[in-house]
Structure 1
Amino acid sequence: MDVITFANAKGGAGKTTAALLLASALARAGHRVMILDADPQRWVSRWSEEAGTIDNLSVIADVSTSSVPCHINDARMAGVEYLVIDLAGASDPLVTTVLGLSNHVLIPVQGCAMDAKGAAQILDMLNTFKEQAGIDIAHSVVLTRVPPMVTTRALAAVKALLAQRGVHVLDTAIIERVAFREMFGCRGTLFTMDPLRVSNLLKAQKNAQMFAEEVRGVLPRQAKIRHFVRDKRKMRSVPSKSLSIA
């Protein structure tokens, strides 16, 4: 089972939209998916309550620092293939705990300085895990809310800039689409919306599918979930102050 976490210390970076797109596309492809809604705003949980039962997709709300390891174990025992976690746009013990238990961290970034700073804070936390606890957590940046008219050259320039700093950037950016905004108000997923009522829905669906396929490609072939007790021992070696973000 893969644990995929969406994190950015700044709110409004597109974490929840990206998490729901990934989860729904994976479920659409026939994979068993669970979302842990660890964002106090509970947007995914609210969507789930309106959408009702979705094949291969379940949502867990009311996630806490102490409950995360239990949710992970329960999901694994239930045969879940992909556990997607949507974190709050903040830095707190819950964020630290979830990052430490993730197989891959996806950091959504829009083209603004504040998003970049929020991403840098998450990258600093991941680097601290590696240097002080010996936990090397794979991670990638995903560009979000990219205007449809942005040229390939412009996107390539952004990716090159991040790559120069040693940051892996997914090739598939999440394009700004009406369908992605309306997804939270529909009774279903991006793949059950009416193409006659939503503009460029097919392009939005294709974008989500390409995003999911690329994420699957960067994950280990045989993901291994670290045992919580072992990680907890390692975490004791990391001063709590060094994992906090001012």
Structure 2
Amino acid sequence: MNKPKHRIITIANQKGGVGKTTTAINLATALAAIGERVLIVDLDPQGNASTGLGIERRERKMSTYDLLVGTHGVADVAMQTVVPNLFIAPSTMDLLGVEMEIGRESDRVYRLRKALEGSDASSYNYILIDCPPSFNLLTMNALAAAQSVLVPLQCEFFALEGLSQLLETVDQVRRTINPSLDIQGIVLTMFDSRNNLAQQVVSDVREHLGEKVYSTLIPRNVRVSEAPSYGKPAILYDLKCAGSQAYLQLASEVIQRERQACAA
């Protein structure tokens, strides 16, 4: 298969509520704010990334379902968001049936990869894929399509336990369907500096995974939680809040790592 010109980053964790969608939306917004042309691919049937960027369900005439079943390409599906330079391939509940639709096809894990290798996806500098909170055919498509994985990890007691399972899955994908897949980084989310347990989790994760963990910590932040209900990224809703500033810092780290990966 041809090597895509853009960088494709899958945002994945089998646990729900760790900040995958919030990270996808705000990281994409930060990248778009510095002039990068960015596409979010919403692979979660719940469609929270689409809603959080102001795309009403009735406006989603086509979705990532159409990309996976092969009836339409990226140019047909992608929609402009409230953020300049930021587009989204929205999700609909149709995704719940995609496994029945393509589950027996020999190329079932490569459907998204094929769609993102098309010429109408080449105009984007970055493509971020927001995954559902499970390891299913949708997540496997996301991992098969990406060059790297970004893992949001909540600062809680069982964080490392779930992370080891995810890293094993990434290793398995690398061995079987996508040899070029790499860990872009692990971002610690929902950090509360007043909480001793959160501090301990940060220490443990850094000890086990070293440089794979981003320096940036994403704090618990009310403004970040409020933003999706207004159909806006936190960075647009309140640029000066601690959460928005953290995502801007994270974007800087991601860009630096992507440049190093491209130079390697």
TM-score range, shorter chain: 0.7 to 0.9
Give the 5 Å matches for 1:39-188: 39-48=44-53, 49=55, 53-62=82-91, 67-74=111-118, 77-132=121-176, 135-139=179-183, 140-149=185-194, 154=200, 157-163=203-209, 168-188=212-232
Is the CA contact 1:103–1:223 (under 8 Å) kept in the aligned structure 2? no
Change (3 A) 1:177 1:148: farther
Deviates more, 1:11-20 or 1:183-192: 183-192
Deviations 1:134-172 (A, max 9, x none): 7142212111110143589757623433226xx711111
- The CA distance in 2 between the partners of 1:125 and 1:19, in whole Å, is 21
TM-score of the two chains, using structure 1 as the length reference: 0.76
Deviates more, 1:80-89 or 1:150-159: 150-159
The alignment-based identity, stated in percent, is 24
Gaps of 5+ in 1: 196-200, 225-246
Query: Matched residue pairs, number?
Result: 217
Is the aligned partner of 1:218 residue 2:247?
Answer: no
RMSD (Å), alpha carbons: 2.9
TM-score of the two chains, using structure 2 as the length reference: 0.71
Change (3 A) 1:212 1:134: closer
- The CA distance in 2 between the partners of 1:98 and 1:52, in whole Å, is 21
Deviates more, 1:118-127 or 1:25-34: 118-127
Deviations 1:82-141 (A, max 9, x none): 101110110112212211221110111112344433322221111123345571422121
Which amino acid is 1:162 matched to?
H
If each structure's helix is expressed as a fraction of its own residues, which one has the higher value?
A: 2
Gaps of 5+ in 2: 1-5, 57-79, 99-108
Give how far 1:189 is off.
2.9
Is the CA contact 1:22–1:211 (under 8 Å) kept in the aligned structure 2? yes
Change (3 A) 1:37 1:203: same
Which amino acid is 1:54 matched to?
V
